[in-house]
Homo-oligomer: A and B are copies of this chain.
């Protein structure tokens, strides 16, 4: 067993978001990428993975902008795409927005264990994360994120309950709200339906498919609330 522990002092090391080779448009991407420097380096792999997640927050064209969140429910697993809103590296926390009336909120309140799956098909790179969800409803965290969001991404919280039946094809929004910009005054009613979902990650698995040799690596934080220790090891893909 190659399982070993290593200290990673993320807090002391600023996250480098700017990755020139991640900024290539799909048309510019080479079909098969050369092996990266970190390909045989566990700490480098973790750093690169975190950089890709950081880029997923800020670059809407990034495949990592829209991971899949899986939850458990009495009737089986549920999984859906969410937009990644923020990533705090020192606390390994990913932030999403959700509707207080959504089915996933009830699922998370009953069982806050989640899996997150990121996949960049062009880079043939998958990140799987396991973590615990923490909901913020009508508190300082949700209020701050609501105020910091663009009106266009808050409009949906003015609509009918997500997932409720509609007699006709509908956006669920009140008449007159679509296809235009919004004033903050119009969005006040949205705040009651706005929740912040923070996921604290305690396990991360990296998979890189490559014709010259696939790579898979596992990173586990023993302390679920503190980033001081990370156990890293290679896995057979």
Binding site for B on A (CB under 8 A): 1-3, 26-27, 39-42, 63, 65-66, 68, 70-72, 75-81, 111, 113-117, 119, 121, 126, 128, 130, 156, 159-173, 178-179, 211-217, 233-237
A68 and B66: CB pair below 8 A? no
> In the assembled complex, which residues on chain B have CB atoms less than 8 Å from the CB atom of A70?
68, 70, 77-79, 115
A216 and B170 alpha carbons, distance in the complex (Å): 8
A40 and B236: CB pair below 8 A? no
> How many subunits of this chain does the assembly comprise?
2
A233 and B163 alpha carbons, distance in the complex (Å): 11
A173 and B41 alpha carbons, distance in the complex (Å): 19
> In the assembled complex, which residues on chain B have CB atoms less than 8 Å from the CB atom of A81?
117, 119, 126
> In the assembled complex, which residues on chain B have CB atoms less than 8 Å from the CB atom of A78?
70, 115, 128, 130
> In the assembled complex, which residues on chain B have CB atoms less than 8 Å from the CB atom of A165?
1-3, 233-236
A166 and B234: CB pair below 8 A? yes
**Which residue of B77, B164, B173 contacts A71 across the interface (Cβ within 8 Å)?**
B77
